[in-house]
């Protein structure tokens, strides 16, 4: 953290990427690593707050995979502060890795894709799973699409249009995974190597550029922006 905090292009720290168990079914064992990840958020934020070595005081968050049965409950769990803890345990941002809708189907409102979370009440603040039916809209920290696109040949990135329209009040932008292609890792990479001179055949760079070129100018609620900034 000391080393990376020196660079102005580091946006923040993630305590983990898609960290949970993958048993044969989604149950309490699936969520077993969650308290450990919550403790990492607490400890990293406490270190940043106390340290005099960090040039930039960067936010600390966590990245979740697209598993609707648990993604939203875990997002609320990580975004909240646990009152029994003296140190701040709330994530500063939530990352969401999602590869759906890349071909142009609008996700619309998040309640339409989510199921009932009543079976996961233990991980929710207040223990009320049904109250989270509005998805990410009720979370008081930025939600970022930390991996988006669609694995086609070439790749499609229609989520960009959604992020700048209906999704602008739900998510705070997104990141394409990945910049440089690696061997035996599908068609994720936009470029063949670190020179960034040669786009990959199937990475969809031209599709991504076209999507961003077609985005509208955003007009957002200033109060909502203030809430996000004040939290960080």
Q: pLDDT tens digits, residue range 95-139?
A: 999 887 666 655 443 333 333 333 333 333 333 333 444 567 678
Two structure tokens written together for 56: 């930039």
Q: What is the structure's pLDDT at 24?
A: 54
Least Cα distance to 208 among 183, 178, 186 occurs for: 178
Please write the tens of the pLDDT for every residue from 193-203. 999 999 999 99
Is residue 195 exposed (0-12), middle (13-18) or buried (19+ Cβ within 10 Å)? exposed
Q: What is the structure's pLDDT at 84?
A: 93
What stretches in the chain show pLDDT beneath 50? Answer: 107-133, 225-232
Q: Which CATH class is domain 13-178?
A: alpha beta
Cα-based torsion angle of the residue sequence 15, 16, 21, 25 in order, rounded to the nearest 10 degrees: 110
Q: What is the structure's pLDDT at 193?
A: 95
Q: Kindly report the pTM of this predicted structure.
A: 0.81
Q: What is the structure's pLDDT at 229?
A: 42
Question: φ, ψ for residue 147 (rounded to 5)?
Answer: -145, 125
> What does the alpha-carbon distance between residue 59 and residue 212 come to, in Å, rounded to a whole number?
26
Q: What is the structure's pLDDT at 230?
A: 43
> What does the alpha-carbon distance between residue 228 and residue 226 come to, in Å, rounded to a whole number?
5
Whether omega for the bond prior to residue 178 falls within 30 degrees of 0, making it cis, is yes
Domain boundaries, the chain: 13-178
């Amino acid at each position: 953290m000391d080393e990376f905090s020196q660079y102005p292009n580091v946006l923040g720290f993630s305590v983990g990427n898609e960290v949970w168990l993958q048993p044969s079914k989604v149950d309490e064992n699936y969520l077993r690593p969650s308290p450990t990840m919550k403790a990492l958020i607490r400890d990293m934020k406490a270190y940043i707050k106390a340290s005099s070595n960090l040039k930039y005081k960067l936010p600390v968050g966590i990245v979740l995979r697209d598993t609707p049965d648990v993604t939203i409950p875990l997002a609320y769990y990580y975004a909240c502060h646990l009152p029994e803890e003296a140190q701040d345990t709330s994530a500063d941002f939530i990352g969401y890795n999602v590869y759906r809708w890349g071909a142009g189907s609008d996700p619309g409102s998040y309640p339409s894709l989510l199921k009932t979370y009543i079976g996961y009440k233990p991980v929710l603040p207040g223990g009320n799973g049904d109250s989270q039916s509005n998805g990410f809209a009720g979370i008081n920290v930025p939600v970022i699409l930390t991996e988006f696109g669609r694995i086609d040949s070439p790749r499609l990135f229609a989520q960009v249009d959604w992020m700048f329209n209906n999704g602008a009040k739900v998510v705070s932008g997104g990141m394409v995974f990945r910049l440089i292609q690696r061997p035996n890792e599908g068609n994720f990479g936009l470029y063949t190597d670190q020179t960034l001179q040669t786009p990959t055949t199937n990475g969809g760079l031209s599709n991504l550029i076209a999507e961003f070129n077609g985005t509208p100018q955003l007009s957002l609620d200033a109060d909502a922006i203030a809430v996000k900034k004040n939290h960080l």
